[in-house]
């Protein structure tokens, strides 16, 4: 079981590593460098604003759909028509909510024009995520991986022409950048419908409330969880725009993009884990094995990235954004990277608790985290700007991740093994000493990077991510 899981994960990560770095480190970076910080900061804030209301489009339906279909694939026909009908109704509610709150915040006509395109982008993305939840629930994880990166391939192609094509009157603007994203998700939407034509051909879209309401009753805990997590994840840039302006939001965006790149790598595990855990929820041994292995892998990646960012954060920002990097953006980046440790725990153990339908405690923890995040943003942003928002995000991720870890161990009676705990603490100390402590002794960073790679390999062995027999085979 673990072998199949790792095979699917490996395939999806290869696709991710082929496409996503190009998107973030080449295309998105080129866009940020080509546009002013005010323009990109305004886009970044509006994009996250549209994401804050994304819960209205989903309302927990994707999580509910995944857990139900993973357990019984025959339910596709019986619930899909009602869910699609409900999603169409929710699109109207989403637009009204986004534009209503936007009016209260005083957005101008140009901002509303951009917000409309972004809202349409989120609507189609939500539909694609629902269709992908069917694909993954059918345990077709490799196909899900293909659909996961396909929109980025389309967007990369279009943006490459806009940025470097040299076509007169077709240079890069923020609107064209958003339109490129819109075309990408539309292409994926069409291909998903074709791929699932056998399942979708049997359904009938329903707007009957007596059929929709039972689904809402079952999905609302998922909806509440997504809403609370979405708010504390995306509130930072919106509050930066409101409290200190677009330029500071642009500074924050420089560091956040790299943090988000690492987060996307980890989110692939979550996308596979939810249907996997749901299907095997009664087998505690499998749950222990897979959750333990995945958390150790993500924590190895996380601690390596955290210590590396601490040592080389300023150099990384200067390399990627030579004209715009500053101490403020570097500090925000370094602080955000520490938050990945909490994010990794959420993606593994939060997903496990979701599959187990332990949503009451998750929602309570998410609510407390949101309140803490809001208070920290209000207090810290006026004082420290982008770094203040990063501290709020770091605190939220660590708090919620720690709670998810504790709740999972209590619910499934997982036991901490002293030897494993000692190995992991020793491994983290080795990474800290070599990456942070030894940096001062290397004039040539390449030699330091080689040593880091060797130590990461040794720590992976210490974490029992592989054994000698794996090397022999």
For 348-372, the pLDDT digits (tens) are 999 899 888 888 889 999 999 999 9
DSSP 424-437: HHHHHHHHHIIIII
Tell me the C-alpha distance between 28 and 25, whole Å: 6
Q: Mean pLDDT across the stretch 204-218?
A: 75
pLDDT at 429: 95
| Separation between Cα atoms, residue 183 and residue 180, nearest integer Å | 5
The DSSP secondary-structure symbol of 325 reads -
Between the CA atoms of 210, 214, 220 and 226, what dihedral angle is there, to the nearest 10 degrees?
-90
- Which residues, 6+ apart, have CB-to-CB distance to 457 below 8 Å? none
pTM of the model: 0.74
Helices 246-279 and 327-338, packing angle to 10 deg: 20
**Rg over CA atoms, the chain:** 22
Tens digits of residue pLDDT in 399-426: 999 999 999 999 988 888 888 889 989 9
Of the segments 274-278, 325-329, 427-431, which one has the largest average pLDDT value? 427-431
Across the chain, mean pLDDT equals 85
Higher pLDDT, 464 or 342: 342
pLDDT of residue 207: 73
Sign of CA dihedral 159, 163, 165, 167: positive
Between vectors from CA 234 to CA 356 and to CA 191, what angle results, nearest 5°?
Answer: 70
Give the integer Cα–Cα distance in Å for 252 and 255.
Answer: 6
Ranges of each domain in the chain: 2-415
Instruction: Over range 271-278, report the average pLDDT.
Output: 80
Confidence class for position 452, pLDDT limits 50, 70, 90: very high
Size of the chain, expressed as the number of residues it contains: 473
Mean pLDDT of 71-92: 80
User: Which pLDDT band, with edges at 50, 70 and 90, does 4 fall under?
Assistant: low
> If pLDDT is split at 50, 70 and 90, which confidence band does 2 have?
low
Q: How many degrees, rounded to 5, is the angle at CA 165 between CA 163 and CA 170?
A: 75
Q: 318 or 74: which carries more pLDDT confidence?
A: 318
């Amino acid at each position: 079981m673990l072998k199949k899981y790792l095979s699917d994960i490996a395939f999806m990560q290869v696709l991710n590593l082929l496409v996503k770095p190009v998107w973030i480190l080449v295309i998105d970076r080129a866009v940020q460098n080509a546009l002013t910080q005010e323009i990109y900061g305004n886009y970044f804030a509006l994009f996250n604003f549209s994401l804050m209301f994304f819960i209205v489009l989903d309302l927990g339906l994707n999580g509910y759909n995944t857990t139900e279909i993973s357990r019984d694939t025959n339910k596709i026909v019986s619930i899909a028509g009602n869910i699609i009908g409900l999603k169409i109704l929710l699109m109207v509610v989403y637009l009204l909510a986004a534009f209503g709150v936007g009016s209260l915040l005083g957005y101008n006509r140009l901002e509303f024009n951009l917000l409309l395109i972004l809202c349409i982008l989120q609507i189609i993305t939500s539909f694609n995520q629902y269709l992908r939840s069917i694909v993954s629930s059918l345990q077709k994880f490799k196909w899900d991986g293909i659909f996961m990166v396909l929109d980025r391939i389309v967007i990369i192609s279009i943006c490459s022409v806009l940025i470097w094509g040299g076509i007169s009157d077709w240079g890069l603007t923020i609107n064209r950048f958003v339109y490129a994203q819109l075309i990408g998700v539309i292409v994926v939407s069409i291909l998903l419908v074709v791929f699932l034509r056998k399942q979708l051909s049997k359904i009938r879209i329903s707007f009957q409330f007596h059929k929709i309401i039972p689904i809402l009753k079952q999905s609302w805990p998922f909806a509440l969880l997504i809403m609370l997590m979405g708010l504390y994840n995306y509130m930072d840039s919106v509050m930066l725009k409101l409290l200190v302006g677009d330029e500071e939001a642009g500074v924050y965006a420089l560091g956040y993009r790299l943090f988000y790149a690492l987060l996307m790598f980890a989110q692939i595990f979550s996308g596979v884990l939810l249907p996997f855990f749901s299907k095997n929820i009664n087998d505690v041994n499998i749950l222990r094995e897979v959750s333990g292995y995945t958390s150790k892998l993500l924590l190895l990646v996380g601690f390596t990235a955290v210590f590396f960012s601490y040592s080389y954060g300023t150099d990384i920002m200067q390399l990627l954004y030579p004209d715009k990097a500053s101490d403020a953006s570097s500090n925000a980046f370094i602080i955000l990277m520490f938050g990945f440790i909490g994010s990794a725990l959420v993606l593994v153990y939060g997903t496990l608790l979701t599959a187990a339908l332990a949503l009451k405690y998750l929602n309570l923890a998410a609510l407390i985290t949101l309140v803490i995040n809001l208070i920290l943003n209000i207090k810290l942003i006026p004082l420290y700007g982008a770094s203040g928002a990063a501290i709020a995000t770091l605190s939220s991720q660590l708090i919620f991740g720690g709670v998810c870890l504790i709740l999972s161990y209590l619910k499934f009676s997982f036991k901490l093994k002293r030897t494993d705990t000692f190995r992991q603490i020793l491994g983290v100390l080795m990474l800290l000493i070599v990456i942070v402590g030894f940096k001062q002794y290397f004039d040539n960073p390449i030699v330091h990077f080689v040593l880091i790679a060797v130590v990461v390999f040794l720590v992976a062995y210490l974490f029992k991510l592989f054994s000698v027999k794996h090397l022999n085979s």
